[in-house]
Amino acid sequence: MAELVGNVLVGQSGGPTAVINASVAGVVAEALNHSCIEEVYGSLNGVLGILNEDFIDLAAESQQTIRGLRVTPGAALGTCRHKLKKAQDFERVIAVFKAHNIRYFFYIGGNDSQDTADKIAQTARQQEYELRVIGIPKTIDNDLALTDHCPGYGSVAKFICTTIRELACDHEAMGQHDLVSIVEVMGRNAGWIAASASLAKRRDHPHDPPHLIYLPEVAFSAEKFVADVQRILKREKYCLIVVGEGLIDADGNYVSAAEATDAFGNAQLGGAADYLRTLAEQNLPGTKVRTVKLGITQRAAAHAGSKTDADEAFLAGQAAVKAAVNGETDKMITLMRGDGDNYTCETGLAPLADVANAVKKLPPEWVNEDGVSMNHQFLRYAQPLIQGETVVLHDSGLPIYAKLDKARVDKQLPAYEV
């Protein structure tokens, strides 16, 4: 295989996570090791930055900043939910890549983004432009196919479980009346996030909160919900419920009204907790219902991040560069768990086409028969992902997060109408 000399471009796409910047740090750190890589550019706001030729020079950032990215939430390069549709868009991408001699393209994102990366790779091949495209997995939803788990998931799980443990301390103190406490978490199509709340239970304390977990994978029944809550309140002073935003009923309809759709046609959800609150208040007189809507705070909570997660996100960035330099293209980095009793994780590769637009559902056999709790198989799967605490530097009492200087790369082409 002939060495491919040229520049790197890395972009971020879709919803930010606590560790998507750690993958950028991994790409930058690894790129410096390879003499075939000349420049390391970042695309601002994902593919939009490519169309608009909005590139920054990541090699010009300080080592301190790149290190800071390993624990900085958000997406330091900016992200987008823009979908490349027209053939013209893909031709523009290749034209921009040619103008900047981009030979290595790394796209960090979920399944929609891996689909975009796949199409860019195909277009390059059609145009006989030598380009290596490697996707880097990222999603708090943990729903990408062919990877054991996704960077971003462990940190959101750890934060939610931390919050559940703290809510438990608070609720246990207020033992004077029947309290129903509902925490709404993210998870549009899959219940991985809601399920992760089960890690908050201490080992051998099955009655610890969360007492009830409602997943998109289990058809929601209002009657069963009311009976579930009654059952818990007979046993416990309070009932702590975790609900995924994408809860659906037996007919497959979202129980909370869909309000809008994004550019990919995904329903923008919200209100599952309010829906359950109303159900409880109407059917369980005398109970007091409180809700928490973590919203975007859960995916940005780097201050309570999983070190395992941040380290694996960094590793995925490094692995993407190594794979591309070794001649791989049109693949996504996967995380592969070792077979031993002690958790180990190595990276692998999967074809982008196989990842694109697929969704990995929570295995139904990992949900207990009661439909509202997770069994030991899930716990064994998820427990290792929340291990270790990231260390965030503080100044004047608050976390300091890295900000890029964003030295702009000169544009080479006429403007393009997005």
Query: Among 95, 146, 219, 292, which residue interacts with its own copies (rule: CB under 8 A)?
Result: 292
Select the residue interacting with its own copies from 1, 2, 398, 415 (CB under 8 A): 398
Q: How far is the CB of 110 from its own copies (least distance, A)?
A: 14
Binders of its own copies among residues 71 to 130 (CB under 8 A) are 72-82
Interface with its own copies by CB under 8 A: which range of 135-143, 190-198, 289-297, 337-345? 289-297
Number of residues in contact with its own copies under rule CB under 8 A? 65
**Which positions from 240 through 279 interact with its own copies, judged by CB under 8 A?**
260, 270
Cα gap 229→177, rounded to integer Å = 14
Encoded tokens for 5? 């000399």
Active site residues: 141
Q: Which is closer to its own copies, CB of 12 or CB of 256?
A: 12
Map the footprint of its own copies across residues 126-165, applying CB under 8 A. 158, 161-163, 165
Binding range to its own copies, per CB under 8 A, among 57-65, 123-131, 350-358, 382-390: 382-390
- Shortest Cβ distance from residue 153 to its own copies (Å)? 13
- Told to check if 351 binds its own copies by CB under 8 A, we report no
Instruction: Mark 195-214 with x for binding to its own copies (rule: CB under 8 A) and - for no binding.
Output: ----xx--x-----------
Inter-CA distances, 22 with 19, 44, 138, 220, 256, Å: 5, 16, 11, 37, 34
Q: What token pair was written down for 49?
A: 């930055």
Instruction: Please report whether residue 295 would count as binding its own copies according to CB under 8 A.
Output: yes
Shortest gap between Cβ of 170 and its own copies (angstroms)? 4
**In the complex, minimum distance from the CB of residue 261 to its own copies, in angstroms, rounded to a whole number:** 12
Nearer to its own copies, 348 or 388 (CB): 388
Give min distance, CB of 73 to its own copies, in A: 5
Q: Which member of 11, 16, 110, 135 binds its own copies (CB under 8 A)?
A: 16
Q: Tell me which of 123, 139, 306, 390 binds its own copies, using CB under 8 A.
A: 306
In the bound state with its own copies, the residue whose beta carbon lies nearer, of 188 and 331, is: 188
Nearest distance from C-beta of residue 188 to its own copies, angstroms:
14
Residues that bind its own copies (CB under 8 A): 12, 15-16, 45, 48, 72-82, 158, 161-163, 165-176, 181, 199-200, 203, 260, 270, 288, 290-297, 299-304, 306, 383, 386-389, 394, 396-399, 401
